[in-house]
């Protein structure tokens, strides 16, 4: 027997960037009395509304939204924090009698909600800063050697050039006193029961998706992306922070410094977006085979199909 009323079962909507999944989520929220909950790792950052294509103020006025733009760029938001925040957002929506509609392009976030996440403790900021400085000063191979000395099991799992994961392993080891390998062997419980969710994955033809993404980035420039990036650059943040790795940030910073012209910066950002789309599509095909496909090109028909499906 279901532990949650069926009309409050969450709707999960995944898809690559620029596929139209946010518009679909909003349309469903308006019709179904839902709350739109973010599952995009970059849309959490308060300083990056335009560059991460966060819902506009007008969109947010049409239906309740949660977990958008609530984290400062100086913080490193994690999947572990997302699981806790999403669990609370889902509970708040249900208490208000609203259906949770979880939408985003970060596959790991959906996996964590449905399968659970290893209970890796938060890394202290002083430890994080230390190992990032070490990486900047000595490079990935030197840190891999240090990891091999201190944690050979974890070091054997990582490529000597994978600086991000090497730093992560060292951070966790120093912060917790236990190997990341040990933490990864532990599994936390899922937030959602898969049998009590409706899961949809948005699909768009590759050429059309690339065209949409290119056009959207061009609009971002007109809508204030450069001002966001200049403000972010003025904060002088660690380049290893997630917000500094948002698509378009590095090319536009280079443009602001006079290192490339605007056209070159836009082309570089658009190329980044296409690479990201490829990674997203690979994840979707590997992990979301059982999710119901939705074509945003046929929005009205897709909406009818979705409502027929969730009302069965």
Q: What is the CATH number of the domain that holds 156?
A: 1.10.20.140
Whether residues 224 and 89 share a domain: the answer is yes
Whether residues 109 and 29 share a domain: the answer is yes
The pLDDT tens digits of the residues spanning 193-235 come to: 999 999 999 989 999 999 999 999 999 999 999 999 999 999 9
Whether residues 276 and 306 share a domain: the answer is yes
pLDDT at 19 over 70: yes
- Give which of 44, 31, 35 is closest to 95, Cα–Cα: 35
In a domain, 1, yes or no: no
Unique residue bearing structure tokens 């958008």? 68
Instruction: Look up the pTM and report it.
Output: 0.86
Give the domain range for residue 142: 125-184
Whether residues 23 and 61 share a domain: the answer is yes
Whether residues 135 and 238 share a domain: the answer is no
Domain finish residue from 184, 200, 220:
184
Let me know the angle formed at the C-alpha of 301 by 296 and 307, rounded to the nearest 5 degrees. Answer: 100
Higher pLDDT, 299 or 207: 207
The pLDDT tens digits of the residues spanning 134-171 come to: 998 999 999 999 999 999 999 999 999 999 899 999 99
- Give which of 45, 54, 15, 27 is closest to 216, Cα–Cα: 54
Residue 262 maps to which CATH number? 3.40.50.300
Q: Which parts of the chain fold into alpha helices (H)?
A: 21-32, 57-62, 79-95, 107-115, 125-138, 140-150, 152-157, 163-176, 180-184, 206-223, 225-234, 249-256, 262-287, 299-310
SS3 259: coil
Whether residues 168 and 304 share a domain: the answer is no
Unique residue bearing structure tokens 């970059």? 42
The pLDDT tens digits of the residues spanning 38-78 come to: 999 999 999 999 999 999 999 999 999 999 999 999 998 98
pLDDT band at 1 (very low <50, low <70, confident <90, very high): very low
Q: Report d(CA 241, CA 137) in Å as an integer.
A: 16
Edge-to-edge strands, sheet with 292-295: 65-66, 34-38, 99-104, 11-14, 198-203, 292-295
């Amino acid at each position: 027997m279901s532990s949650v009323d069926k009309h409050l079962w969450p709707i999960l909507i995944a898809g690559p960037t620029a596929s139209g999944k946010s518009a679909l989520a909003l349309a469903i929220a308006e019709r179904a009395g839902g709350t739109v909950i973010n599952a995009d790792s970059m849309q959490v950052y308060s300083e990056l509304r335009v560059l991460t294509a966060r819902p506009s103020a007008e969109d947010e006025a049409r239906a309740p939204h949660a977990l958008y733009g609530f984290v400062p760029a100086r913080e490193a938001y994690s999947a572990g924090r997302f699981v806790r925040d999403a669990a609370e957002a889902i509970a708040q929506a249900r208490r208000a009698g609203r259906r949770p509609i979880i939408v985003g392009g970060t596959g790991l976030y959906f996996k964590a909600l449905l399968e659970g996440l290893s209970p890796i403790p938060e890394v202290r900021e002083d430890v994080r800063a230390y190992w990032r400085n070490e990486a900047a000063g000595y490079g990935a191979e030197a840190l891999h050697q240090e990891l091999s000395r201190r944690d050979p099991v974890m070091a054997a799992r990582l490529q000597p050039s994978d600086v991000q994961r090497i730093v992560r392993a060292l951070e966790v080891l120093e912060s917790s006193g236990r190997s990341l390998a040990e933490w990864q062997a532990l599994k936390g419980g899922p937030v959602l029961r898969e049998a009590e969710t409706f899961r949809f994955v948005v699909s768009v033809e590759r050429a059309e998706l690339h065209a949409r993404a290119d056009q959207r980035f061009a609009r971002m420039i007109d809508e204030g992306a450069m001002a966001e990036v200049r403000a972010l650059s003025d904060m002088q943040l660690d380049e290893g922070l997630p917000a500094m790795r948002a698509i378009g940030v590095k090319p536009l910073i280079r443009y602001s410094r006079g290192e490339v012209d605007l056209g070159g910066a836009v082309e570089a950002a658009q190329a980044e977006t296409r690479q990201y789309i490829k990674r997203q599509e690979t994840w979707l095909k590997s992990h979301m085979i059982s999710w119901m496909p939705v074509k945003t090109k046929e929005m009205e028909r897709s909406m009818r199909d979705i409502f027929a499906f969730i009302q069965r």
